[in-house]
Amino acid sequence: MAFTSLRGASSGLLAVLKKGSRLRRGKPRKPPAPLGTDSAPNTIASLAPLTQVISHYLSQKDVERVKEAYRFADQAHLGQFRASGEPYISHPIAVTEICAGWKLDADSLMAALLHDVIEDQGVPKQELAEKFGADVSEIVDGLSKLDRLEFATKAEQQAESFRKMLLAMARDVRVILIKLADRLHNMRTLGAVSSEKRRRIARETLDIYTPIAHRLGLNALFRELQDLCFQAVYPNRYQVLHKAMMSARGNRREVLGKISDAVRVALPAAGIEAEVSGREKSLYSIYTKMTEQKKSFSEVLDIYGFRVIVHTLPECYLALGTLHQLYRPVPGKFKDYIAIPKINGYQSLHTTLVGPYGTPVEFQFRTRDMDHVAEEGVASHWLYKEDNVTLNDLQKRTHQWLQSLLDIQSQTGDSGEFLEHVKVDLFPDAVYVFTPQGKILSLPRGATPVDFAYTIHTDIGNQAVASKINGEFAPLRTELKSGDAVEIVTSPASRPSAQWLNYVRTGRARSEIRHYLRTVKLEESVAFGQRLLNQAFDQLHLPHPADDDPEWEKLAKSSGAASREEILADIGLGKRLAAVVARRFAPENALLATTAAAFDELSSATNAPILIHGNEGQAVQLAPCCGPLPGDAIVGGIRLGHGLVVHMEECAVAQRQRAREPERWIPVLWDTNTARHLTTRLDVTVVNERGVLGRMAAEITEADSNILHLTMQDDAAANGILHLTVQVDSRKHLAQVIRAIRHVPQVQKIVRVKG
């Protein structure tokens, strides 16, 4: 997450602002002496506070298990110290205390105490499993980084460590809860490390851990991590904003006191028993608002607000109505997150009211259960409290998201790409749209119908051809807005497009599209490469080798390919010449002297041209510049990395390319059985009168064709030129469509675009 400088701040604040992970682990070392002393502090880490907390909700047997894990961790970290000089065991104890605040189970607390023994002290995973059980060892292993493996770069190592942690989290959410507690304590104790390391750890926390905390609904943790990161990256700016907040708190005390007193009188008078408390925006959220909206501190008016906690859901709406009668609401500032919860399970009513002296104040209304979920998210109703527990909506949504991580992993080979997909899914903002059945889906802000389609099902995404938004046809790249009703139009003949990657927003959609393009392109390239190679064998009068011929393995090793399939795919994509590969199977096993000779030999044989069906896929492409149709005279050029591109013989683009590289062109002919629904372009000049477009569309439909795309430009005062992309089956079918269009009296001229 990039930080930007403050803009639009008041001159005094801006002037001052402009002036302005983990701790080291590993081998035991002597503790550094603090400033002003000659020896390390005599600090003793005590388990007593933790034992007191967990005794309230764990059985005595589980408390003893936690103590046993403590004794093991204490022995393992004996002689190891933190950068602050404290015994290292103080860190696992502090992390476990945070987890105990969420009332996690005994296995989680044991894993929190042991979370560094594999990574720092080299304790085998098997030993942990034997002493403390498989669950504890799996959690600790999921928390351990991959320091012992060889990676080309630090970024690659970090990405792979994150992938390991996130996949472990997908299998057991306790992994990430302990990791977040670990990161929170490290952020609280960053003062002992260098400023450069503080900034690096803080940026990593903002990029990865705070979005995960928000996604899991751990809002109290989320806000504290943000403020700690802000303080670590920009300490001067943090101090200036902190002082400004303290000053503003004093200036607004009278106004807030009046509002608080009025609310505490109005609610009981309406028969509503409520708990009213004040709240402040976090410093980081104020800073973000100032930078994004270019506002000064004095212009950020919603720094303070009130939270109203009631007993039942209906009382949330009753309390809202009562305060709307007390103070005037600000139009457009009401949000109902109870009817439509946020993606992380957050539920509350938000409204902004104009208080005394014209001061806008935000109010939040929620029940106590909603408040518990709002602060602690997925940890609020712990999944592992008992067997056969019934999952609430928040836990179901969390499980669906965690399962999506496994789906993305199954289709992503590269750890950096996996992390990129996951980061996309961690956007906090969301839009809420409706399926045709009325179900509400939450998607990242900026999501499109393609994201919607893949959220429903992979096959719907792969076969999407169009979308309807609120009953009207809309392009697949349209950004969805909250409240949109979305319907996807599919076709079995449709396939994902690489262009979709330019505008999809969800990690699942991105990974599914890339997976499809990789696998299908490979399969199609292998099949087409086999066709080209078979043609080369026939031209050289050589027998076709078997798939298990030993020469394939020799050829793969000598050319740097992994397998026979990779060689065929390279032929299909134009990276290898079929004639050169074919000559390797000649009885004398002689290689051609030069690549040019291979091209000459391949191009000299004009018999057995490649037959084009039109639906081969990505290995054979019909050139978009001229849009050849069955019946047109065609030529084929092999483009490196693209396979065979088929042009019309008269295409100017093809003629220029053929003149530059004649050796890359091979004979092609249309097959007798060609694909349907090919596309071509027409420019139609019409008299610009009312209804002309409707009559043209009716005639095109009557001719069994379909308009895929249409734009219009003015030619003269009374004329216009329509640029149409239509679906046809052949050149003969196109002629029928053109004759049908001529039935419209306003049509003056029709031209097929051929280049």
Give the 3-state secondary structure of 85-137: CCECCHHHHHHHHHHHHCCCCHHHHHHHHCCCHHHHHCCCHHHHHHHHCHHHH
CATH topology of domain 240-378: Beta Polymerase; domain 2 (3.30.460)
The pTM (predicted TM-score) of the whole model is: 0.52
User: What per-residue confidence (pLDDT) applies to 369?
Assistant: 85
Pick from 31-35, 92-96, 249-253, 542-546 the range whose average pLDDT is largest. 92-96
Domains 240-378 and 678-752 fall in the same CATH topology = no
Strands of the 634-639 sheet, one edge to the other: 620-622, 643-648, 634-639, 665-666
86, 97, 105, 120: which is the annotated catalytic residue? 120
Cα gap 375→342, rounded to integer Å: 13
Tell me: pLDDT of 491 over 50: yes
Tell me: pLDDT of 623 over 80: yes
Per-residue pLDDT, averaged over 511-515, amounts to 81
Per-residue pLDDT, averaged over 225-234, amounts to 90
Nearest in space to 392 (alpha carbons), one of 427, 437, 347:
347
Tell me: pLDDT of 219 over 90: no
User: What per-residue confidence (pLDDT) applies to 380?
Assistant: 56
Nearest in space to 447 (alpha carbons), one of 434, 432, 458:
432
What φ, ψ does residue 720 adopt, rounded to 5°? Answer: -150, 155
User: What per-residue confidence (pLDDT) applies to 310?
Assistant: 93
pLDDT tens, position by position, 106-147: 898 999 999 888 877 778 888 888 889 888 888 888 777 644
Tell me: pLDDT of 516 over 50: yes
Per-residue pLDDT, averaged over 348-370, amounts to 86
Contact present, 685 and 679 (Cβ < 8 Å):
no
Per-residue pLDDT, averaged over 36-55, amounts to 64
3-state helix, strand, coil in the chain (%, to 5): 50, 15, 35
Burial class (CB in 10 A: 0-12, 13-18, 19+), 536: buried
User: What per-residue confidence (pLDDT) applies to 520?
Assistant: 72
User: What per-residue confidence (pLDDT) applies to 195?
Assistant: 85
Per-residue pLDDT, averaged over 656-674, amounts to 82
Tell me: pLDDT of 394 over 70: no
Cα gap 406→173, rounded to integer Å: 13
Reading the block at residue 532, the tokens are: 């080209």
Q: How do 472-474 and 464-469 pair as beta strands?
A: antiparallel
pLDDT tens, position by position, 580-601: 777 777 765 444 333 334 444 4
User: What per-residue confidence (pLDDT) applies to 168?
Assistant: 61
Which has the higher per-residue pLDDT, 160 or 201? 201
User: What per-residue confidence (pLDDT) applies to 207?
Assistant: 78
Question: Containing H/E element for 237?
Answer: helix 235-251
Contact present, 289 and 300 (Cβ < 8 Å):
yes
Catalytic annotation on 74? no
Nearest in space to 561 (alpha carbons), one of 581, 541, 588, 579:
581
User: What per-residue confidence (pLDDT) applies to 399?
Assistant: 56
Tell me: pLDDT of 669 over 90: no
Per-residue pLDDT, averaged over 339-347, amounts to 77
Reading the block at residue 514, the tokens are: 């890339």
Q: pLDDT category, 10, cuts 50, 70, 90?
A: very low
97, 105, 116, 119: which is the annotated catalytic residue? 119
Tell me: pLDDT of 94 over 70: yes
User: What per-residue confidence (pLDDT) applies to 148?
Assistant: 42
Cα gap 416→420, rounded to integer Å: 6
Per-residue pLDDT, averaged over 672-690, amounts to 82
Q: pLDDT category, 152, cuts 50, 70, 90?
A: very low
Which DSSP symbol is given to 81? B
State the angle between helix axes of 154-171 and 393-410 in degrees (0 to 180), rounded to the nearest 10. Answer: 130
User: What per-residue confidence (pLDDT) applies to 308?
Assistant: 93
- Which top CATH class is 445-500? alpha beta
User: What per-residue confidence (pLDDT) applies to 169?
Assistant: 61
User: What per-residue confidence (pLDDT) applies to 39?
Assistant: 36
CATH topology of domain 43-144: Hypothetical protein af1432 (1.10.3210)
Mean pLDDT taken over the chain: 76
Cα gap 89→87, rounded to integer Å: 6
pLDDT tens, position by position, 599-622: 444 444 434 677 787 766 556 778
Check the CA dihedral 339-343-349-351 and report its sign. Answer: negative
Measured in Å, how far apart are the chain's first and last C-alpha atoms?
45
Catalytic annotation on 120? yes
Around Cβ 424, how many Cβ atoms within 10 Å?
Answer: 19
- Which top CATH class is 678-752? alpha beta
Q: pLDDT category, 184, cuts 50, 70, 90?
A: very high
Question: Containing H/E element for 489?
Answer: strand 486-490
Domain boundaries, the chain: 43-144, 240-378, 445-500, 515-670, 678-752
Q: What is the DSSP string of 720-735?
A: EEEEEEEEESSHHHHH
**Poorest-pLDDT segment among 411-420, 606-615, 687-696, 697-706:** 411-420
**Poorest-pLDDT segment among 352-361, 533-542, 610-619, 640-649:** 610-619
Which has the higher per-residue pLDDT, 28 or 190? 190
User: What per-residue confidence (pLDDT) applies to 452?
Assistant: 93
Per-residue pLDDT, averaged over 74-95, amounts to 87
Tell me: pLDDT of 557 over 80: no
Percent of the chain having pLDDT more than 70? 76
Within 171-246, strands assigned E span none
Which has the higher per-residue pLDDT, 256 or 226? 226
Q: 543 Cβ partners below 8 Å, 6+ apart?
A: 537, 585
Cα gap 558→544, rounded to integer Å: 20
Q: Supply angle C-alpha 618, 667, 540, rounded to 5.
A: 100
Q: pLDDT category, 398, cuts 50, 70, 90?
A: low
Which DSSP symbol is given to 524? H
Tell me: pLDDT of 392 over 70: no
User: What per-residue confidence (pLDDT) applies to 393?
Assistant: 58
Q: Supply angle C-alpha 720, 726, 732, rounded to 5.
A: 110
